[in-house]
Amino acid sequence: MFTRTDDRITTSQAVVFLTNTVLGAGILTMPRSVTQTTETPDSWLTIFIGGAVILPVILLLVKLSQQFPGQTVFQYAGRIAGKLPGKAICMLLVVYFLVIAGFEIRTLAEVTLFFLLEGTPMWAIVLPFIWLGAYLVGGGINSIARVNQIVFPISMLVLFVSFGVSLRLFDINNLRPVLGEGLLPVFAGLKSSILVYTGCEVILTLVAYMEHPRQAVKAMIGGITIMLAVYLVTIIVVVGGMSVDSVITSTWPTIDLIRSFEVTGFFVERLEFPLMVIWLMQMFCNFCSFFFQSSLGVSQIFNVSYQPVIYGLLPVLFLSTMAPKSLNDLFHLGDAIGMMGIGLFLLVPVLLSLIWLVRVKGLKQHV
């Protein structure tokens, strides 16, 4: 049973776990969503500023978790805010993680349906991934971390090889002029850039499982730095290779860029297929992370066995996955998840930290 935090992960596993949790379906749509809001070639600046804005929140999440060694947010929220308010906050997190898990597996299915298995019923794609995810999540955080360690370097290798080959289409003029319309469009796109970092909330449980929690700050900053680098390279290469107008009108701009050329004489002439296959694995890892968070949350909030919770959540997860009726509904759900993420970013760490500080200072004054 993994309701306790006795299933440890190393510092490097924590870095990869955080990175894989955030780098999911967003990498395929992020250039479009951010560029749509800026409507200028400065979307890469928006991503950079968004990462800088997220960084202090990451540090706050880590510092809060370090005050309660070996405990996740589902365990210490009640100690800070009180039993009932703590449970309410934790249930919001559980619902949030479940919705993201459903969103990720549905996006995975949509990409598979559009590019690989056209005409296949949606449920026939979704169900195998959900059941496979339940099997992996049943092994606890260490099993998920090990799979992440296998998938992450392969996915990064395939992604950057694809980007490297696509540089033949790159035109620096597509990224000019820099700040041609000033800083206003850059800040207008800030909301969309922050949304791509959705999922960093897993830090609230991740620190409790680290073998060396004192290294959590270094590990989480390492994770966010890797994410920022990947996002920056992606948006620069995609916008530089396709132009702002083409990116805005593309559903899956990252894949469309890789589809727009062939590598004659190379082992694989069409690089979008290996990229899609490996990125499906990346999205699956992303899904498993959120599925684990929600299962762990229910288990610890209600103090019930972890394994039955996994199977109890499967129908809820399936309904969450099948709820969007179209691709547009799915993208609207993604935007809603981003807004929920921003709200929970503010509500959970800031609110809990303020209450904790007031209580600690009150105790010191009382003494």
The low-confidence residues of the chain, meaning pLDDT below 50, are 1-5, 364-367
pLDDT, residue 1, reads 42
207 within 8 A of 9, measured Cβ to Cβ:
no
> Which tens digit of pLDDT belongs to each residue from 245-281?
888 888 788 888 887 766 665 555 567 777 778 888 8
Q: What is the pLDDT of residue 2?
A: 44
* Residue 284 vs residues 102, 130, 288, 333: alpha-carbon distances, Å: 11, 9, 6, 18
Q: Domains in the chain, please, with CATH?
A: 11-357 (1.20.1740.10)
pLDDT computed for residue 241 by the predictor = 86
pLDDT at 137: 92
Q: What integer pLDDT is reported at residue 367 of this predicted model?
A: 43
pLDDT digits (tens, 9 = 90+) for 95-115: 989 988 888 888 888 888 877
The CA-atom distances, in angstroms, between 331 and each of 24, 30, 325, 327, 335 are 14, 11, 11, 6, 6
Render pLDDT for 18-59 as a digit per residue (tens, 0 to 9). 988 888 767 878 888 888 888 888 888 888 888 888 888 888
